[in-house]
Amino acid sequence: MDYDILRYFNDHPFTLSEEVIGILCIGKFSRAQISAFEEYQKPLVFIDSDTLSLGHTCIITDFYTAVKQVVDHFLSQGLDRIGILTGLEETTDQEEIIQDKRLEHFKNYSLSKGIYNEGLVLQGSFTAQSGYDLMKEAIHKLGDQLPPAFFAASDSLAIGALRALQESGISLPDRVSLISFNDTSLTKQVYPPLSSITVYTEEMGRAGMDILNKEVLHGRKIPSLTMLGTRLTLRESTRNE
């Protein structure tokens, strides 16, 4: 693909150059933003947003299987009281709230296993500070009843939670096992290194470019959804017997 790539960011006005032949949209977008993209009448491909029902091709992560991998690993280690740290996302224009699909799948799968506990759902924002605050509150509130396993829906949440646990003298993985989500470089820069769901973000980008290229070259009008799998990467923050 011999193209020049123009990058636009949400904090800058989006004025499309006449030379642009396709748009790759990365992130979470409101209906108003999607309508604005449609007005350019260029091929559109969305990454990390399920826009199939709106008639647009998209590439997303298989959240269900990822969450299932986490819960199944904890259960395989005899840990059936599982907490989750999650957050609310906003669209890039801050006009719409996005519910976390990981929480939805965690609830449904945990219910199917008979282990769901609403009191162990800790919800804030997707930041390290929020992870720290949520875990501090859980430690204070639950005391000895703190669950032995936590799933953090982002690496940032997990790193904040890890700091709170360590400040309270709670050992990982002896007392608490912790799994994060995304598996960015941050997971290997803390101690203990975090077990994490590996998300193939670079492959999502490549898939998006391949599909967009085909739409540009062949004028394909049928929207499609591509779902990429994940992998549970185990490290020292969990029991792995």
DSSP class per residue in 128-142:
HHHHHHHHHHHHHHH
pLDDT tens, per residue, the chain with 241 residues: 555 555 555 555 556 666 777 888 999 999 999 998 898 888 999 999 999 999 999 999 999 999 999 999 999 999 999 999 999 988 888 889 988 999 999 999 999 999 999 999 999 999 999 999 999 999 999 999 999 999 999 999 999 999 999 999 999 999 999 999 999 999 999 999 999 999 999 999 999 999 998 888 887 778 999 999 999 999 999 999 8
What's the pLDDT score for residue 118? 97
Question: What amino acid is encoded at 205 in this protein?
Answer: G
Statement: the pTM of the whole predicted model exceeds 0.85: yes
What's the CA gap between 178 and 238, in Å, rounded? 6
- Three-state DSSP at 73 gives helix
What's the pLDDT score for residue 76? 98
Q: How far, in whole angstroms, is CA 10 from its chain's centroid?
A: 20
Beta strands in 146-220 (DSSP E): 149-152, 177-182, 195-199
HSE-CB of 79 using CA atoms within 13 angstroms: 25
CB burial of residue 210 (10 Å; 0-12, 13-18, 19+): middle
- Which domains are seen in the chain, by residue range? 23-61+200-229 (no CATH), 63-199 (3.40.50.2300)
What's the CA gap between 21 and 217, in Å, rounded? 10
